[in-house]
Amino acid sequence: MNVQQGRSSEDLNPIAIVREAKFAIGDVVKHRIFPFRGVIFDVDPTFNNTEEWWLSIPEHVRPRKDQPFYHLLAENEESAYVAYVSEQNLLADETGEPVGHPQAPEIFEAFEPGRYRLRPNVSN
């Protein structure tokens, strides 16, 4: 967190203090616990889903809301799907392999080991 010169952290609006996301659009990541990986296509600075969705996660593994959440084109051995995952549950995928999600070519134009390049005409 950055504190502006001459001001204490109590003087700052807490909404103005935003953590930087660890991952970026196009990064290939894997889940820390569950066996899936994916490519990030959008990032929320903090939790931005329904309370019902959040409460459906078992309390002992429920993530904090005050962290970045990532929208992934995800895949596991059985299927491809869209996932919404907290930063605390993601790790960089070190396989160097592309993601086989069928929507990836619609959003990304090229794959370089570990990350995709966004198509110029795609915006979030």
pLDDT digits (tens, 9 = 90+) for 61-100: 899 999 999 999 999 999 999 999 999 999 999 999 999 9
Instruction: Label residue 10 by pLDDT band (50, 70, 90).
Output: very low
- Residues of the chain above pLDDT 70, percent: 82
Q: Does a structural domain hold residue 103?
A: yes
CATH of the domain at 81: 2.30.30.390
User: Looking at the predicted structure, is the pLDDT value of residue 17 above 90?
Assistant: no
User: Looking at the predicted structure, is the pLDDT value of residue 15 above 80?
Assistant: no
Q: Does a structural domain hold residue 104?
A: yes
Amino acid letter, residue 114: G
Q: Mean pLDDT check: name the lowest of 16-20, 36-40, 48-52, 70-74.
A: 16-20
Query: Rounded mean pLDDT of 12-29?
Result: 75
How far is it, in rounded angstroms, from Cα 41 to Cα 80?
14
Q: Does a structural domain hold residue 51?
A: yes
Q: Does a structural domain hold residue 8?
A: no
Q: What is the mean pLDDT of the chain?
A: 86
pLDDT at 30: 97
Instruction: Label residue 121 by pLDDT band (50, 70, 90).
Output: confident
Q: Which domain covers residue 78, as residue numbers?
A: 17-118
Total domains, the chain: 1
Q: Does a structural domain hold residue 12?
A: no
